[in-house]
Structure 1
Amino acid sequence: MKKRTRSTALLIILLLAGAIVGSVLGEALKSVVPLLSYGKKLGLDMISLDMGVAGLTFGFYLNLNLAAVLGVSLAALLYQRM
C-alpha cells in the first residue's frame, strides 16, 4: 500500500479558506450573534519611503475575529481528518 502524504500547500489553503469564510460569516451574523464579530486588529501601519524618483509603501495587518479563529480551527480539524 502506498503511504499517503499530505501537502503543506493544502494545509495553508485550508487555513486561509477557513479564516476567510469565518470572517465573512462573522460579519454577516454580527447582528444576530455579536460575539462572533469580536476581534482585534494586529499588524504594521503603512511605512512609506519616498526616494524622489520612486516610492515604496509597506503595510500589513490581520483583522482576527472569533468567527475567523473558529474557521481556522475547523479547517485544521478537517486537514487532520483527511
Structure 2
Amino acid sequence: MKSPDKNKSLLGVFILLGAILGSIAGEILGSSFTKLSFLKTAYKVGTASPFNLDLKVFNLAIGLNFDINIMTIIGIILAIILYRK
C-alpha cells in the first residue's frame, strides 16, 4: 500500500533520475562492449525544429526533444519499481 508521504513529484524525480542513469548506463555499456553497441542507439522523439515566436522585443523559441534508448526505458521501469517499494 502506498504511504501518504510519497507524492507524485517524488515519482517524477524517480522517473527523471531513472531515465538519466539508464541513458548513461546505455552509453557506457554500448561504448565499452562491441556486442552491446545496440544499447547506445538512441531514437529521437520530439519536434524537428523549435516553435519561434518573434515579438520584436524578444524572441521565444519552444521545442522539446528526447533521445530514448533501450536502457532509458529500463531505467524508468526500475525507477517506478523502486518508488513503489
| TM range, smaller chain | 0.7 to 0.9
SS of equivalent to 1:41: strand
Aligned residue in 2 for 1:28: 28
Q: How does 1:1-82 map to 2 (within 5 A)?
A: 4-5=3-4, 6-31=6-31, 32=33, 33-44=36-47, 45-81=49-85
Instruction: State the TM-score, normalizing by the size of structure 1.
Output: 0.84
* 4+ residue runs over 3 A deviation: none
User: Post-superposition shift, 1:35?
Assistant: 2.0
RMSD: 1.5
Structure 1 segments unaligned to the other structure (5+ residues): none
Return the alpha-carbon distance in structure 1 between the equivalents of residues 40 and 75 of structure 2. 13
User: Post-superposition shift, 1:53?
Assistant: 2.0
Aligned length: 79
Q: Which moved more, 1:42-51 or 1:10-19?
A: 42-51
Give identity over the alignment, percent: 34
User: Post-superposition shift, 1:29?
Assistant: 1.7
Structure 2 segments unaligned to the other structure (5+ residues): none
User: Post-superposition shift, 1:40?
Assistant: 1.0
Instruction: State the TM-score, normalizing by the size of structure 2.
Output: 0.82
